Amino acid sequence: MVDSSSGNIKRPLANFHSTVWGNYFLSYTPQLTKISTQEKIEFEELKEKVKKISWIIKFLRIHEEEILEEALIFTITHLKSMVPKLSNLLKAQVSEALSQPIHTNLPRLLARKYICIYEKIESHSELLLRFAKLDFNILQKLHQGELCELTRWWKNQDFAKQFPYARDRMVECYFWVAGVYFELQHSRARKMMTKLFTTCTSLLMTHMMLMQPMMNLWLSQMQSIDVMT
């Protein structure tokens, strides 16, 4: 709904702000989001070196060790009791693992947290640390560029005028999709799924707007019923 006197868009449901993010994600420039040739070359070189290290580590794993499953509760209980006695670095790792286990966390958020922890370990590998930082930065640039592109798409479609009552949840939808498909090769899937979810959000809000008069009638009728008789 557009106010003809002022030209402002009114949002009749709850006067939703067009977006909590404003135009923030339109401001990224190609210099900030473009992955340099040097970064690509260094990434590929480090990837090959890390593969060799990972191949050696594979042989140290033990699959389906039932005793670990049985000891889970025992371990958690004792770890919690030991936290106050641990060094700051180890305490940070244990506290993070107890508050949100790896399998319940978002991989990229977990990677960002652990990079900071790993960097403080004296025996850390400079090769792995450099590779982890480069991998994280390259992927972050790609995600920023995609979100910039999607935000422009959203504004070009003029959803704010076509669906003034709908919430603008572009960033939230992209964050959800990126939590599932975060790898470099899933760029197209991230963009397609984000567009799908934001469009579905607008359709859902349209359905709610159309149903609002019927809901108001139903509520008024329910309020007039004497449930005590």
Q: How far apart are the first and last CA of the chain?
A: 43
Read off the pLDDT of each residue in 53-75 and give the average, rounded to a whole number: 57
Q: CB under 8 Å to 148, separation ≥6 — which residues? A: 25, 26, 28, 33
Length of the chain: 229
- Dihedral sign, CA of 160, 176, 212, 226? negative
- State the pLDDT confidence band at 58, using cuts at 50, 70 and 90: very low
* Per-residue exposure over 93-117, b if at least 16 CB sit within 10 Å of its own CB, e if not: beebeeeeeeeebeebeebeeeeee
Domain ranges of the chain: 24-221
* SS3 state at 2: strand
Q: Report the predicted TM-score, pTM, of the whole model to 2 decimal places.
A: 0.63
Residue 190 has pLDDT above 90, yes or no: yes
Read off the pLDDT of each residue in 45-54 and give the average, rounded to a whole number: 63
- State the pLDDT confidence band at 109, using cuts at 50, 70 and 90: confident
- Dihedral sign, CA of 129, 133, 134, 139? positive
- d(CA 184, CA 44) in angstroms, rounded, equals 13
- d(CA 127, CA 49) in angstroms, rounded, equals 8
